[in-house]
Chains A and B, each alone.
Chain A
Amino acid sequence: DAEITQSPRHKITETGRQVTLACHQTWNHNNMFWYRQDLGHGLRLIHYSYGVQDTNKGEVSDGYSVSRSNTEDLPLTLESAASSQTSVYFCASSETEETGELFFGEGSRLTVL
């Protein structure tokens, strides 16, 4: 069965360290997204990609970067982790822009001390 997986599922790091969260999907979807979810807030879009070599900034992109070298993967990098980036991160993919139905990974809980 097609799926979307994230790793690591849990990570604790220190302020200032670089962190990369992996996202891998076997749906063969062109569209991939990274969100963060915090209590009291809706999902907030960090970065997204509509295909290989395409990346775009979302609502809360400062301090994050992504790259899309193939269809399956969209890793999210925190260049210098800050305590404000403690959150649960969800990767998602969709078949087409118009459908809008997103398939989410299980989430990565990141704690920055």
Chain B
Amino acid sequence: GQNIDQPTEMTATEGAIVQINCTYQTSGFNGLFWYQQHAGEAPTFLSYNVLDGLEEKGRFSSFLSRSKGYSYLLLKELQMKDSASYLCAVRDSNYQLIWGAGTKLIIKP
């Protein structure tokens, strides 16, 4: 079966750095996505990785290792507005997205 694993919840301090991990086992691989979802709102696109390595976009970076079936989202200089759920999704061989259950990130002052 297809499986995406990510921690259910993480807590971090304002101004700090946090890394949210995602491991996957899917039928094929055609890219990995990270989305942010604030409580009661729609998911919004953060990043996309299809090749191994690090993609940086401002305070957010996403890393991919296809051989290990592993990705992480790195958030730097945390702000209170970063409190949200972070969803990892893998596009499989049929170009369908398989979603993890999401990681709820709590930021404390």
Interface residues of A, dominant DSSP: loop
Q: Which residues on the A side are within 8 Å of B91 (C-beta)?
A: 100
Q: Which residues on the A side are within 8 Å of B60 (C-beta)?
A: none
A-B contact count (CB 8 A): 45
Docked Cα-Cα span, A108 to B46, in Å, equals: 22
Docked Cα-Cα span, A44 to B95, in Å, equals: 14
Closest to B42 in A: A104
Per a CB cutoff under 8 Å, which of B45, B98, B99, B101 touches A101? B45
Closest to A109 in B: B40
Docked Cα-Cα span, A100 to B95, in Å, equals: 8
Residue in B42, B48, B101 with the greatest tally of chain A CB atoms within 10 Å: B42
User: How many residues on chain A are close to B (CB under 8 Å)?
Assistant: 18
User: How many residues on chain B are close to A (CB under 8 Å)?
Assistant: 21
Per a CB cutoff under 8 Å, which of B44, B48, B95, B98 touches A42? B98
Interface residues of B, dominant DSSP: strand
Given A42-B102, A43-B99, A100-B31, A105–B42 Cβ distance below 8 Å?
Answer: yes
**Contact, CB under 8 Å: A45 / B44:** no
21 A–B contacts from the bound complex (CB under 8 Å): A40-B101, A41-B101, A42-B89, A42-B100, A42-B101, A42-B102, A43-B43, A43-B89, A44-B99, A45-B96, A90-B42, A97-B95, A100-B33, A100-B91, A100-B95, A100-B97, A102-B45, A104-B43, A104-B44, A106-B42, A107-B42
